[in-house]
Chain A
Amino acid sequence: MKVILRHPKREMELAGRRRVKELLNELDILPGTVLVIRGSELLTIDAVVGEEDVIELRPVISGGGA
């Protein structure tokens, strides 16, 4: 599957099926700090993603700001 990450924008390829929870774990990302996007859907951590999927992990934390 193709995984799109941000800040900076980059992509990576991963083999195999897994749950979103495992994917986030592997990438050391806390659930709740990213939107897990597949096309026009949002996925919860128990959803299974597979070879053909393009998954965007979009950070939700915005910073600086006073």
Chain B
Amino acid sequence: MKCRKCGGTAVLELRRHNVAFCAPDFLEFFRRQVNEAVRRHRMFTRDESLLVAVSGGKDSLALWDVLLEEGYSATGLYLDLGIFDYSRESRAKCEAFAAGRGAPLRIVSVEQEVGAAIPEVRAATRRPTCSACGLSKRYLMNKAALEHGFPVVATGHNLDDEAATLFGSVLHWQTEPLARQSPALPSTHPKLVRRVKPLYRLSELETAAYAFLRGIDYIVEECPFAKGATSLLHKDILNRLEDASPGAKHNFLYGFLEKGRAAFEQASPVELNECVRCGQVTTGTLCAFCKLADQVKRSR
């Protein structure tokens, strides 16, 4: 296969765009898509300091890399979930990346913040592990950003992640998640920092190819709790659809963002309060994170 731009040997075919690129032209395409995402959703400006949530996986390290390459001031935030070898290894990948790029990395331990590491949280609650873990991650990202004065948190969610989340929400017509799903969530409260997903225009194949071609040493192994997650089932279904009809995922997600989302947003206005215990934002009185921490305490 030949590169669409220069005619050299292609390293990656992007069927949904009906093109193939050589390595340098693919990297250029990747950066352009990130810049387009940032511009289109006014994610952040050149003079803002960004906090990038990194897991050691391909997406978040690719994101951190591309932001540093583009000249942004980007600090990494690694949340140590305490998930056995997976956490040890992924933390080491983040530390090595930070050291190699001379980029600042902050580390927050879930065990210290929640009162137990994720495997123990898993035993203490009836929630699915990924739901408890995800809620803790969102809370701790926001908290870290607030404490250290970052106006925005960037995460490595890609096109496939977003399409799978959308698919899951649509299957159950979960109107609140549908209202909130966006590449950029503005700060709607002084204690809620902006959240952005600069990779939402890039597929999982593309973020993996970028990480590989940039020589990023990322963790290929998966979190042991990911196995059997419904999001993986949804990704599998969408990948079959994509194989039969390239562009399906892209159209599904972009169509929702352009035409569908606004209707849900209008339908579910939310009232935000401050948690009576920790002061972070919640729709109730005690926030979900504090409730989770209580459950963990009670189970001991």
Contact = CB atoms under 8 A, between A and B. Distances in A.
A42 B209 contact: yes
A31 B1 CA distance: 15
A58 B207 CA distance: 13
A30 B212 contact: no
B232 A63 contact: yes
Contacts of B134: 65-66
Contact of A62 (B11, B23, B59, B239): B59
A35 B220 CA distance: 12
The binding surface of chain A is classed by DSSP as loop
Contact of B222 (A7, A31, A35, A47): A7
A64 B235 CA distance: 10
B229 A35 contact: no
A35 B232 contact: no
A35 B13 contact: no
A64 B240 contact: no
A32 B205 contact: yes
Given A6-B220, A61-B160, A62-B59, A44 B20 contact: yes
A13 interface: no
Contacts of B243: 30-32
A62 B226 contact: yes
Contacts of B239: 30, 32-33, 61
Sorting the interface of chain B by its residue count into under 10, 10 to 19, 20 to 34 or 35 or more gives 35 or more
Contacts of A47: 1
Interface in B123-153: 129-131, 133-135, 137
B226 A64 contact: yes
Contact of A58 (B130, B131, B220): B220
A64 B232 contact: yes
A46 B1 contact: yes
A44 B209 contact: no
A11 to B, nearest CB: 15
B205 A33 contact: yes
Interface string A44-66: 11110000000000111111111
Contacts of A61: 160, 204, 232, 235-236, 239
B205 A60 contact: yes
Contacts of A7: 221-222
Contact of B231 (A33, A41, A46, A64): A64
A66 B229 CA distance: 10
B15 interface: yes
A32 B235 CA distance: 12
A3 interface: no
Nearest to B131: A66
A59 to B, nearest CB: 8
8 contacts: A42-B12, A44-B10, A60-B208, A60-B209, A62-B222, A63-B223, A64-B129, A65-B226
